[in-house]
Amino acid sequence: MIETLGGAFLIALMRISDVTIGTFRTIMVVQGRKYQAAAAGFVEVLIWIFAMRYIVQNMDNMYNLLGYATGFALGNILGITLEQRVALGYVQINIVSRHKTAEIADQLRIKQFGVTILPGEGKSGEISILIAIIKRKFLKDLMKTVETIDKRAFITVQSSRPYRGFMHGSRV
């Protein structure tokens, strides 16, 4: 019985590992990090092949199948959680504040965020749009700064892949 459960546990660990790596690989592909994605894919598939080999050799063991499914589910959770903490890549933040645009821009610039202010016009008149492109790892800090100044600011966040250029005064 210990060997039966041990095999299922090993399969679950392999699946947790390869799915977690697969999550990072997918994000690296989207961000155009081809060499890192290739290396991660190599390790991911190697682990997967070992897990599948073990399962096929022991297909009659229901615990192995449950270990496989459990590892896949937990690997997704762990992969997403770790990726959110590592926060690879860049995001573009668009901020619309009715009355506190200048104050938000000033505070973000004090914190070394590069901010551009664009004029706009909405149904109720003129507005300004703040745009910042930052590393994802700084997103919580930026959001906290904006929310302490204007809790009602309209904020959108989207993934960004800078092409070229230099962002003066921004965090590196």
Same-domain status, 98 and 117 = yes
Identity of the residue numbered 49: I
Are both 64 and 137 inside the same structural domain?
no
Amino acid letter, 19: V
Tell me whether residue 24 is in a domain. Answer: yes
Q: How many beta carbons lie within 10 A of that of residue 145, not counting itself?
A: 15
Label residues 69-92 b or e (16+ Cβ within 10 Å = b): ebbbebbbebbeeebeeeebbbbe
CATH number for the domain harbouring residue 116: 3.30.70.120
Q: What is the pLDDT of residue 166?
A: 63
Q: What residue numbers bound the domain in which 122 lies? A: 90-160
| pLDDT digits 0-9 by tens, 108-152 | 999 999 999 999 988 888 899 999 999 999 999 999 999 999 999
pLDDT at 172 over 60: no
Residues 6+ apart with CB under 8 A from 7: 54, 58, 61, 63, 64, 67
Residues 80 and 94 reside in one and the same domain? no
Whether 31 is covered by a domain: the verdict is yes
Residue 166, in any domain of the structure: no
Q: What is the pLDDT of residues 2-51, one digit of tens each?
A: 777 888 999 999 999 999 999 989 988 988 889 999 999 999 999 999 99
Last residue of a domain, one of 47, 71, 86: 86
pTM greater than 0.75: no
- How many domains does the chain fold into? 2
Q: Are residues 139 and 98 in the same domain?
A: yes
Last residue of a domain, one of 51, 86, 121: 86
Indicate whether 102 and 145 sit together in one domain: yes
What type of residue is 39? A
Q: Does 94 share its domain with 79? A: no
28 and 102, same domain (yes or no): no
Query: Do strands 116-122 and 90-96 pair parallel, antiparallel, or not at all (unpaired)?
Result: unpaired
